[in-house]
Structure 1
Amino acid sequence: MNGSTSRTPTRVGLALGAALVSSLLCTPATAAAPEDAGRGPDAAAAPRAHGERACPVVYFDLGETLVHTAEDGSTTYLPGAASYLRTLRRHHIRVGLITNVPPSWGATDAARAARLRAEVDATWRGPVAFAWADFGDRIRTPRTEAERKPAPALWERAREESAGCRVVYQAETAQEVSVASSLGFVSYQVGLPHRPAFLPAGVVERLGRCPA
């Protein structure tokens, strides 16, 4: 994953402010820090869990957004990620993953997701297991090398499968956040200083009251 360059508190504050204004006024905007220069055919059908809201849907990248892989190969939650997922779960907000894995891991999203889970679980060293159940069948992975991010295919599939809900994307790379924003996602770059680690749950809830 690419590292993030530093941003001044003023620029970062303006970026987060864009997301807050977007949620309150229900207009598209991105919370990415400014830079210097319908269901798919292989999506498994599953009913929403009891109390789970239809909208919005919050998608994440996985590596260095929610989890960290150490030099010894072990994997754990990044600071704040587990508690943030618990907060979204408590508010019955749906979450998903948009992440690159080898297309050879399976012929369907479900098969590739199962292999992803096995790979992560095999190296997991965190005190609490990764919350796979929260993501349900909303794990979007490339069917071909051409679909790998930053190609737009995975975000387009996730948006089409959102049933008209406002969609959010959170990742650590400015490039991915920019592409997601260009495709209609409310995007937020995590891991930057002088701002919340993740898009605040209150902002996400307000987005759920906005038309997609």
Structure 2
Amino acid sequence: MNRSASTGWGRAGLALGAVLVSAVLCAPASAAAPGGAGSPTRTAAAPACPVVYFDLGETLVHTAADGGIGYQSGAASYLRALREHHVRIGLITNVPPSWGSTDAERAARLKQEVDAAWKGSVPFAWRDFGDRILTPRTDAERKPAPVLWQRAKAESGRCRVVYQAETAEEVQVAASVGYVPYQVGQSHRPAFLPVGLVELLGRRSR
């Protein structure tokens, strides 16, 4: 994972950041706590928008010094809250292109690698991601190249797309191609984009 700090969001990124900060600060407690009482619940018949994409390592899962893998703090409950609100989720993650000739093949190998090292008491929620696990077909497509974000956005139709990751560089690239970006794990704001705000994005047109 590239942990280099961003030197600037650009005008569009700054505007998005300001909107997000304002929304988070003004959100009621029920929205700031994923799955909290009073959070609006989307019915199964409602449009499944937006689509929330994540990085994997050090965003949703943490690799310990001994090589064991488990959920990042708060990630399991956050994914559960998104599932309960019928929000589609996906992964945009770097793996070796040699792991397969298709996203499905590379995703299958990724699952094997993660599950083999998994130390958590609750298994990783692979089922929630469906076929929305995008991986590089070539080394040139590896993040931070924008290709994977562009592919995911194209596959999401007219839905707004959100991207959450731990690195400033990745959220900056995602913002540049039209995502609502959120850098996770920042001490001055919720660990993940609040579920109430995700639902608000789903109700707003582009």
TM-score range, shorter chain: 0.7 to 0.9
Aligned to 2:120: 126
1:209 corresponds to 2:188 = no
Gap regions ≥5 residues in structure 2: 6-14, 25-43
Aligned to 2:20: 19
Paired residues for 1:73-152 under 5 Å? 73-152=67-146
CA distance in 2, matches of 1:171, 1:93: 17
CA distance in 1, matches of 2:200, 2:21: 9
CA distance in 2, matches of 1:97, 1:152: 14
Q: Tell me the alpha carbon deviations over residues 86-131 of structure 1, each in whole angstroms, 9 at most, x when there is no partner.
A: 0000000000000000000000000000000000000000010000
AA paired with 1:123? A
User: May I ask how many residue pairs the two structures share in their alignment?
Assistant: 178
CA distance in 2, matches of 1:194, 1:20: 10
The TM-score with structure 1 as length reference comes to 0.79
Structure 1 residues 209 and 20: alpha-carbon distance in aligned structure 2, compared to 1, 3 A threshold: farther
When the two chains are superposed, the root-mean-square deviation of aligned CA atoms in Å is 2.0
Structure 1 residues 16 and 153: alpha-carbon distance in aligned structure 2, compared to 1, 3 A threshold: closer
Quote how far apart the aligned CAs of 1:54 are: 2.2
Gap regions ≥5 residues in structure 1: 6-13, 24-49
Q: Is this contact kept in 2: 1:55–1:166, CA < 8 A? A: yes
CA distance in 2, matches of 1:108, 1:51: 31
Large movers: runs of 4+ above 2 Å: 1-5, 14-17, 20-23, 50-54
Q: Is this contact kept in 2: 1:4–1:172, CA < 8 A? A: no
The TM-score with structure 2 as length reference comes to 0.81
SS at 1:151's partner residue? coil
